[in-house]
Amino acid sequence: MDIRIGNGYDVHALAEGLPLWLGGVQIESELGCIAHSDGDVAIHALCDALLGALALGDIGKHFPDTSDEFKGIDSKILLHRTMELVEKHGWRLGNADITIAMQRPKLASYIIRMRETLAEVMGVPVSAVSVKATTTEKLGFVGRSEGCEVFATVLLFSRE
Ligand code: MG
């Protein structure tokens, strides 16, 4: 059985008065992501990890932010389409591990819903999806609440 590893990284700038979506879940927050899509930076990093594992390019190649088709799009649709690509190429997800770096709000109470939501979209058990949140101790652009940064790692197994 073959295995593949992939990593993804994404950043979005934050601004007041925008909705905040992370891991497919709407978060109560004064700040939301500036984006062409719904700005779900966690899903974007996850999609890039899945695409990266298969050397299929990145999310911008598959879902360009210049296209009206993807304006304001629910990123869960992008994740679902990315998983269809993974399956079409003969692979399945072993597990995913996501780290969200954000100074505020606190995300702890949303973690389980993010895991459940992402697992459902990807068609895997909740135990295969890890979501972790950290602040950066007020350091850097994350610490100043100028942006939200996400790292994602996935392991894929060949279906044969
Ligand atoms: Mg993005």
The Å distance, Cα 45 to ligand 1 centre, comes to 7
Question: From the CB of residue 102, how many other CB atoms can be counted at a distance below 10 Å?
Answer: 26
52 contacts 7 by C-beta, under 8 angstroms:
yes
pLDDT tens-place string over residues 13-37: 999 999 999 999 999 999 999 998 8
The Å distance, Cα 115 to ligand 1 centre, comes to 19
CB-hemisphere CA count at 13 Å for 112? 1
The Å distance, Cα 44 to ligand 1 centre, comes to 5
Task: Copy the structure tokens of residue 127.
Answer: 């135990």
The Å distance, Cα 89 to ligand 1 centre, comes to 24
The Cα–Cα gap between 9 and 48 comes to 7
- What pLDDT is attached to residue 160? 79
The Å distance, Cα 41 to ligand 1 centre, comes to 5
Residues of the chain with pLDDT under 50: none
The Å distance, Cα 23 to ligand 1 centre, comes to 12
